[in-house]
Chains A and B, each alone.
Chain A
């Protein structure tokens, strides 16, 4: 009898401890969001969102940084989304279980673990120097695109996996070629899922700083980039500068909070849209 109570008490305490772990994680997240929401909210105004920084970045807004992040993410998407989808189509539809396939999968998994600053170094050599794009929004976007590629491949493959095999077999049985069956019976069902998955990757890319540090992000620019060969301002880099590199750090703290809020709203907004859509898609399938 006594042993049984002891067992119960032990279980109660252990589960309590596990629960505390969970609450701790949730508390950290809430603390983050609360702090940035509260202190950043005060800085947000129409002027802040629509104007360029003024007076050595101690006043004015962050519009060039918002615009730059939008532009660079667009380039990232143009590179990473189609390539990611095509690679996923190969892996899920065409690939046999052979050595080449295993090699490709291994490469993808390892690419997603390569540090972002290493992608930055790669971008400096490949895009800035060898391809002579210079430090520009194009170089930065392509660098981020390569970094995003493993994520978009994985996400697209997950979406392809959810299409039942019978769809493919039905088309093939009617005499369709492999590509016809993919085009008519697989892709229409997989593309929405592929897109939501890739949005998650793009959101992550939009918030990255290290890969764009040396490939095109600028400290301050009085004008917006006019071509793909121009440098650009980006939200994450702007936050880094306001938080650590500015000569009047205390004075610009509210602006830094405001920038952080805009960045986090952008990234989490994209994230949540994707998560909600994916959740709905999954439910529909059940």
Chain B
């Protein structure tokens, strides 16, 4: 299977209240130096991975669209130069509505970007303000018009303060009406340390049952609009799955570049430093900025494979699994299978969590871990 490339652009115009990613709203000035380092990291990694074929490139953040588009163009050029990137590779870039312009889009497309991902989150302005987003619905509409006809994803959040089913429906319909081919609908996760966590502590956010209701409602609206669920939080028109993300859930290999990026190569999972200065220092002294590295043993690989596949609608290909790991899946996981038989279903050689239990899958997957 071909591998994926992830590049992290840690810059933002402002920090959203729920964000716990590595992003620096105040360091845009470093963008150019950062990109220079990225090219250098690519050169080092490319040398190491020259036998690999790459199928996808995902430029995420942060907000990649916030930096100068020419820097993105150079990035893609560098990726093509240092890595064996397929001609038909899926190249995705994440964007925020406020930082998109016609000229930027034109340049992205020119250097090969063929998939866009826009963070709308919600079509309700007051909720956007609550989240600390620096755009309004109107900004999104402007952006979406520019994207008409393109292959693009829209991020939508559920579980927001004061959110109703109607709000969710409006957000989804807004995305659909402008021709989005893909919707990521995910529940807000209030992480400790983010400003929104205080909302959570004060009981201002919807509880689990309410979020589950919103989710079920969102799924039904999406289905009605022709968006099929292929992963817990991901929905798309037929054939428009994100290849890059599917690779994660099929436990494929991927190389992560840039600050805080994670990789999985040859059953070793490793993560780059989360500290920008540290990243600069490492790259400039020709060292990989890796801070964490873990070799996954055979059982670990098996467990991960199950854990990730169970997120998807396609589920786990048991035959492939047995062949790959040289064991009998039904035997290794007999106890877990027995205990959870009511929540699982077989479709040919595939085993999946029944639709109605997809949203409580942690409880089920737990039993499969060694």
Q: Do A and B come from one complex?
A: no
